[in-house]
Amino acid sequence: MAARFTVGDVIAERTVHLTRESLVRYAGASGDFNPIHYRDDVAAEVGLPGVLAHGMLTMGIASSVVVSALGDVKGILDYGVRFTKPVVVHPTDGADVHVLAKVGAVDEESARIDFMVKHSDTTVLVKAQLRVAL
């Protein structure tokens, strides 16, 4: 089964558009109602460049792009990221989160998928890796 994954192959690439409505919906689903995710005045008061997408939303978008493209795997063994920059969601234009996922390593039992996650030209997640059982 490991032969279906080749190091360097692109597994998935997708851009997900976020709006302020996306943030409100995510807040309701997650229970994270921190006002930096929906109020410009609060974001400005704490020195942020604008309303921010939830970090876990960004992380979830990245993993969902990869998982939906993988198809037949036995399961996710681990998933981790490091947050580097926030995704600022403009009040009218929203924000695009771009995910590019490539095979980083393969062994007999698993494949490691490495992905780059960007907003505009800024990398927002680093060391983003998902390992799946084969």
Query: Considering the domain 2-17+55-133 in this protein, what is its CATH number?
Result: 3.10.129.10
Backbone φ and ψ of 75, nearest 5°: 160, 165
- pLDDT tens for the chain, residues 1 to 134: 445 889 999 999 999 999 999 999 999 999 999 999 999 999 999 999 999 999 999 999 999 998 888 876 778 999 999 999 999 999 999 999 999 999 999 999 999 999 999 999 999 999 999 999 98
- Whether 125 and 58 have beta carbons less than 8 Å apart is answered as yes
Distance CA 71, CA 90 (A): 34
Q: What's the predicted TM-score (pTM) here?
A: 0.90
How many other CB atoms are there within 10 angstroms of residue 21's CB atom?
11
Task: Compute the distance between CA of residue 5 and CA of residue 79 in angstroms, rounded to an integer.
Answer: 18
Query: Which of helix, strand or coil describes residue 124?
Result: strand
Domain boundaries, the chain: 2-17+55-133
